[in-house]
Structure 1
Amino acid sequence: MERPGLITQLGMARSFIKDVYVARAKTEYGARVLRAPVARAITWPGRLDPYPYFDQVRDQAPLSPSPREPNVHLSATHDVCKHILKSREFGVGGRTIVGKDEVEFSMSLLEMDPPEHTRLRRVAAPAFTPRRLTAYGTTIEKTVHERLDAVPPGASFDLIRQLAGPLPIRIISELIGVPEADDGLFLRWGTALGSALEGVHSLRHAQQVLSAKLGLDAMFERLVQERRADPRDDMLSMLVAEEGGAVRPEEILPLCTLLLVAGFETTVNLIGNAVLALMRNPDQWELLAGDPATYAPRVVEETLRYDPPIQFTDRVALQDSTIGGYDVPAGDRVLCILAGANRDPARFARPNFFDITRTDNSDHLAFSGGVHYCVGAPLARLEAEVALQVLAERMPTLHFAAKPKRRNSVTIRGLRSLPVTAGA
């Protein structure tokens, strides 16, 4: 693939940010003038702790109209969000995450409803069978040990840079079939595309996203050509084998991009949010450190409920619908505040407490629900469980080394850095 020149890239980038400043002004108006809870949650400093604003949305009504967006409705109520996510009366409606015009940043499965969604999901599902998860488990454990081996005894280190980020990249690389030598590029491009899930914020950011997309496309096209000549036991080979049948040629690159971005963003932030919650609740860390094998899975589930990596998702009404006496006309959108639903006191006892001994957290919505339930959820859970278990076994005295720094993001909740140490 020939990469566009700088002038062409800048022109393409401008099409990305045409509406950025208008959208930002509307959000600021909603936060400061209308004092709308969701608008306040997504503007600084509300992003640091959006949960009180989600509580306000839930307290207003189970489902309510957006104060600043016509034909948009909001819910942070568990039962309502769960119903919408599982109901065939609602779908994703072919949404586009970021791009348009010459360069479309497609997330394929996320933008499709059945039957197209069913067709592609069936192709991706074999990558997450129990047999493959067992194989990934070996690589996960080996990678975690290698990453921790590189930390000098008693030294401080950034958990995101040293462990939480590199781990999912290595596993996704193995899953898709990307050579280990390309992990560094894969990590950089995946991070750039993940940042675009929030939209683009400047011309420079748009150019970075475009560059990452073009680089990934070129890498995947090269690997697809290699798999056509020499199939292997990886996801790319599965997709190539289905080419022209269950998979259209133009769908291969978006599917690979989805596996990278979704797999990376979910896992890096799940691990980071889990360790942050444990460090802020030393009694919970002590439970994990005392019995890592037992408590690591519980930490993962409680983190998914308490501070999930994905805070929101939306659905469009495919027909006129009524939920709890509230009418949603066909074509309207509902913003499901997953993080708010996961702290609904009608569903979870003491919802604002991080408690790895709780038994009522299995019904969280962190991985969405219905036909769009995250196909990679078992792998994300496994990566986080192994990482937390090994971390607690090897560094039982882990604690903060410096103040963590949050990502300036809304839909994705995670950390830019998490300095920790097992030393004095």
Structure 2
Amino acid sequence: MTRGGRAAQLRQAAGFAATLYGGRVRGLVDVHVRRNEFARLSAVGAGDPYPIYDRIRATGPFVSTPTGHLATANHAVCKQVLRDRRFGVEPEGAPRPAPALDRSVLTRNPPDHTRLRRLIAPALSARRLAEFTGMIERTVDRLLDDVPADGPFDVMPALAGPLPVAVISELLGVSPAAGAALASYGETLGGAAAGFRSLRQARDVMVAASRMVHVFEEVIEQRRADPGDDLISALLAVEGEGDSELRAVELVPLCRMLLIAGFETTVNLLGNTVNALLDHPDQWAAVVADPALAGAAVQESLRFDAPVQRTGRVSFDDTEIAGQPIRRGQWVNVLIGGANRDPEVFRRPDDFDIARPDVFDHLAFSSGIHRCVGRPIAELEGTVALQALAQRMPRLRRAGPARMRAVPLVRGPSSLPVRA
């Protein structure tokens, strides 16, 4: 590299560092000087966000963010914004992100969103889910066979992490080794969903993104030569430039989105469910007595401690919701974790109760046209895993304190030590 090239790199790094650490300083001011509740929520880290949601909800339908946008923890308002076609997941006319960081369906408005979602829907149909049930059951049994019968183990690396990796690998048609590597890269990318925390993290994300693209490109070329009964092969079969086809440039971002979304949601759903049940021994005893209640426990966990705590929508026009003017281009932060504990919708919202009749109003998988397409398979994985734990380890208890992840958008344990 020439001296001029190194100088340009140094200037770029210096500018990035100034932006990164300047933003952190502004965040501290917003929390401790301006006492902005949304800023406090973003800075909560591994702490408990739910008292902050309560204060935000008590303020009114909306609160302002430090950057002049809006946030809401009101269930009715959240649901309205998520379902309203006047809002989207990106501003109209926004440029496409760099291919290495493109999040596909998650950042597409109709008609692209509609087209891409329709292409992947058959892979997650009821018929395909029935086919996956046996594979999920066998995977859970194999993973539980490997944990000590009478010693401590950590639920996260022993069960919650490898299960969705196995499922998404089977779905996409990648080898177990490639699936494990992709999941590792996906975890790195998912950890930066709310922004970079350091220069090192930014570097790690760029490396992970590049390596993930390389692995997917290799798998895609293998499937071009030798198609199989998997999602990548199915997507290659509809590749083209027509109005209902998949563009070649969209294939890797779509696979990456499926991997990251499928992994992040399910691993935290499993961790949060076991964590909540261990905090409520009477609820765990009910599941042990009747493993058919596992599905109800999964739904209550999704409401009580949602794996994805918030999402965002941008207004296409000047409009108004719940008396709040919203200007064109203004973002609304939809605080799913807070909406799921709105006392106007859920009785005793801070109680974990697997028998509650109002649980299905939760927004853990969003709502409207962007409702998570992978919801059925995530719920299936959680239900099968919990049934197996109840049947095989009825005396499951803690072997140490849980450690929560310090990522504001995603909530779940990084470590959950237990004893069977």
Question: Which structure 1 residue ranges, 4+ long, deviate > 4 Å from structure 2?
Answer: 6-18
**What is aligned with 2:41?**
41
Say if 1:17 and 1:110 are closer, same or farther in 2 by CA, change over 3 A.
farther
Corresponding residue to 2:416 among 392, 413, 418: 418
Shift of 1:94: 5.0
Corresponding residue to 1:190 among 180, 186, 190: 186
Shift of 1:211: 1.7
CA distance in 2, matches of 1:104, 1:7: 25
Matched, 1:383 2:396: no
Does the 8 Å contact 1:16/1:206 carry over to 2? no
Corresponding residue to 2:85 among 83, 88, 93: 88
CA distance in 2, matches of 1:253, 1:296: 35
Alpha-carbon displacement from aligned partner over 1:137-188 (angstroms, at most 9, x marks no partner): 1111111100100012111100000000000000000101111232331231
Alpha-carbon displacement from aligned partner over 1:228-247 (angstroms, at most 9, x marks no partner): 11111111111111111411
**What is aligned with 2:3?**
none
Matched, 1:402 2:380: no
- SS of the residue corresponding to residue 298 of structure 1 reads helix
- Counterpart code for 1:21: Y
Shift of 1:410: 0.2
Say if 1:106 and 1:85 are closer, same or farther in 2 by CA, change over 3 A.
same
- Counterpart code for 1:359: P
Alpha-carbon displacement from aligned partner over 1:3-45 (angstroms, at most 9, x marks no partner): xxx9999998878666321222222111111112222222246
CA distance in 1, matches of 2:342, 2:306: 14
CA distance in 1, matches of 2:207, 2:388: 36
**What is aligned with 2:285?**
286
CA distance in 2, matches of 1:252, 1:363: 33
Structure 1: runs of 5+ lacking an equivalent: 1-5
TM-score of the two chains, using structure 1 as the length reference: 0.92
Does the 8 Å contact 2:70/2:331 carry over to 1? yes
Matched, 1:73 2:63: no
Say if 1:9 and 1:180 are closer, same or farther in 2 by CA, change over 3 A.
farther
CA distance in 1, matches of 2:260, 2:85: 26
Say if 1:223 and 1:9 are closer, same or farther in 2 by CA, change over 3 A.
farther
CA distance in 2, matches of 1:17, 1:373: 36
- Counterpart code for 2:285: E
**What is aligned with 1:114?**
110
**What is aligned with 1:3?**
none
Shift of 1:193: 1.4
CA distance in 2, matches of 1:249, 1:313: 28
Shift of 1:64: 2.9
Does the 8 Å contact 1:17/1:206 carry over to 2? no
Alpha-carbon displacement from aligned partner over 1:185-212 (angstroms, at most 9, x marks no partner): 1231121111121222222212221221
CA distance in 1, matches of 2:269, 2:171: 19
* 184-193 or 235-244, which deviates more: 184-193
TM-score of the two chains, using structure 2 as the length reference: 0.93
Over the aligned positions, Cα root-mean-square deviation in angstroms equals 2.1
- Counterpart code for 2:325: D
- SS of the residue corresponding to residue 416 of structure 1 reads strand
- SS of the residue corresponding to residue 334 of structure 1 reads strand
CA distance in 2, matches of 1:33, 1:56: 17
Alpha-carbon displacement from aligned partner over 1:334-357 (angstroms, at most 9, x marks no partner): 111000000000011000110001
Instruction: Kindly report which structure 2 residues correspond to 1:6-405, keeping only aligned pairs within 5 A, or say none.
Output: 19-44=19-44, 47-66=46-65, 68-70=66-68, 72-93=69-90, 104-244=100-240, 245=242, 246-293=245-292, 295-405=293-403
